[in-house]
Amino acid sequence: MIRKCIKTVFALAVALVLVSGTGQAEDTPNPIFKGKKLLLVAAISSPTAAIDANTKKHFESLGMIVNMVSDINPPSAESYDLVYLASDVKAKTVTNTYRNTKVPVFTTKPWLLDFLGMTGYQPQKDYGEDEKEEQSFLWLVNAPNPIQAGFPNGMFMPVKHAIKIYNWGRPEPSAQVIAFLPGEPEKGFIFAYEKGVYMDHEFTAPARRIFFGLAPDQFDLLIPDGLRLFDSCAAWALGGK
């Protein structure tokens, strides 16, 4: 009986150590987010408006101050620390509004990549979306780059179940490519440009620029590992190392 009680107490002690040793570091937001001002541009009357609202809540949970605005006549990025361009915005309304801004830009919209100078200008050649057979993984390629959030190179599953639509862009040689579509290394799913490097047609990045190819309905599908990678992209854009 005594031996059984000792085993039970020991098991509980181990469980407490495991709980205290895991989760806290991942659940604690990167301090780089605290108090930073985010301009979130979205199609706020679109069918995916609820997902944009969840994205806003997520950024706020990291400690950011978020102003979510319509993609129709979007405001200047002045006074903000980061611009996030959601994948449901209409490229024809945003166009090159944020091309020359000296504020970092994080986007999930492939049809804005040419306006931002991050890729060439030809749809479905320089950027686009692919409909795949049910597929749920990417290929990570740039460990130990900090944008990759500590994940090793190779197959990576960011979402809770298989999806069909994958946004992508064709990165320039100066880009930091983090992930591409499996078997298609020319189709970048996550890539970034450091401030001052040449992007498309020798256009110099006015500040950090980063792309994460989520389709409009996919933010809510991210599992914790996918969110961790998403947050790492935002942290890098804000100046993280």
CATH code: domain of residue 82: 3.40.50.880
Mind listing the pLDDT tens digit for each residue in 36-59?
999 999 999 899 999 999 999 999
Is residue 175 a part of any domain in this protein?
yes
Predicted confidence at residue 122, as pLDDT, reads 96
**CA dihedral for 147, 236, 26, 213, sign (positive or negative):** negative
Is residue 42 a part of any domain in this protein?
yes
Is residue 12 a part of any domain in this protein?
no
User: Which residue, chain included where needed, has tokens 């604690």?
Assistant: 28
Give ∠ CA 229-116-151 in degrees, rounded to 5. Answer: 15
Predicted confidence at residue 16, as pLDDT, reads 29
**Higher-scoring residue by pLDDT: 17, 219:** 219
Is residue 81 a part of any domain in this protein?
yes
Overall pTM > 0.85:
yes
Is residue 18 a part of any domain in this protein?
no
Mean pLDDT of the chain: 88
Looking at the structure of the chain, the number of domains it has is 1
DSSP string, 65-127: EEEEEESSSPPP-TT-SEEEE-TTS-HHHHTTTTSS-SS-EEE--GGGTTTTTSS-S-BTTTE
Is residue 188 a part of any domain in this protein?
yes
Long-range CB contacts (< 8 A, 24+ apart) of 21-27? 26/224, 26/228
Is residue 24 a part of any domain in this protein?
no
Is residue 8 a part of any domain in this protein?
no
Predicted confidence at residue 148, as pLDDT, reads 98
Contacts of 24 (CB under 8 A, 6+ apart): none
Predicted confidence at residue 19, as pLDDT, reads 31
Average pLDDT of 176-183?
94
User: Which residue, chain included where needed, has tokens 């059984």?
Assistant: 4
Q: Find the domain containing 156 and state its range.
A: 32-237
Q: Give percent above pLDDT 90 in the chain.
A: 78
